[in-house]
Amino acid sequence: MPILKKHKRLDKELNLFDVYAISTGAMFSSGFFLLPGIASAEAGPAVVLAYLIGGVMVLPAMFSASELSTAMPRAGGPYYFLDRSLGPMVGTVGGLGTWLALIFKSAFALIGMGAYLAIFLNVPIKPIAIGFTVFLRCSMFSGLKKLQTYKGFL
């Protein structure tokens, strides 16, 4: 019978500034740098009103998520909330939906990074986006490996 290692739990080391930085980085990615140009091309001078209406429409979801996070402070986000309230099937669908949304958001941001680079250099957008994807994936795996070694999880 193999010897099982006892896994340690991660320490909760994030402070208010860390959480603010992560949230701001997630919010200000492609939506902040790519969408205003597209929105102003479509809406014209009413772009400010469109952003205001969009911001008001997001408020109920933001308040609900913050209330649920306070009531159930566990890792898992939407999956955990849906699993606890509506059952594992709905939680799984919600978790997969969140995962797909993050994948599409990341793809949109990477295409945007390629488009910005294509403005300054005469290069095709898609290969640049693929290059950014490979670079970021490798840096993520490198950082994860260092974190696991540092925390003693290997």
Q: Report DSSP state, residue 134.
A: H
Q: Of 145, 141, 115, which Cα lies nearest the Cα of 128?
A: 115
**Domain presence at residue 79:** no
Closest alpha carbon to 37 in 126, 112, 122: 112
* Domain span including residue 101: 88-154
Determine, yes or no, domain membership for 134. Answer: yes
pLDDT at 150: 52
For residues 92 and 153, membership in a common domain is answered with yes
Neighbours of 112 (CB within 10 A): 19
- For position 126, what pLDDT does the model report? 82
Q: Is 98 found in the same domain as 57?
A: no
Say if 77 falls within a structural domain: no
Over the chain (154 residues), what is each successive 10-residue block's mean pLDDT? Answer: 58 75 67 71 86 87 83 79 86 86 78 78 82 79 61 49
Of the three residues 15, 39, 71, the one that is the final residue of a domain is 71
Same domain membership, residue 140 and residue 106: yes
Same structural domain, 115 and 144? yes
In a domain, 153, yes or no: yes
Residues 92 and 145 reside in one and the same domain:
yes
pLDDT of residue 154: 45
List, in order, residues 6 or more apart from 128 with CB less than 8 Å away.
113, 114, 117, 118
Residue 75 DSSP symbol: T
Answer yes or no: do 142 and 106 share one domain. Answer: yes
Looking at the fold, whether 93 and 154 belong to one and the same domain comes out as yes
N-to-C CA span, the chain: 20
Rounded distance between C-alpha atoms, residue 115 and residue 109, angstroms: 10
Q: In this structure, is residue 142 part of a structural domain?
A: yes
- The answer to whether residue 137 sits within a structural domain is yes
Q: Is the pTM of this model over 0.75?
A: no
Determine the pLDDT at residue 139. 76
Same domain, 113 and 152: yes
Judge if 104 and 66 occupy the same domain: no
The backbone torsions φ and ψ at residue 27, rounded to the nearest 5 degrees and listed phi first, read -80, -35
Handedness of CA 61, 77, 144, 128 (dihedral sign): negative
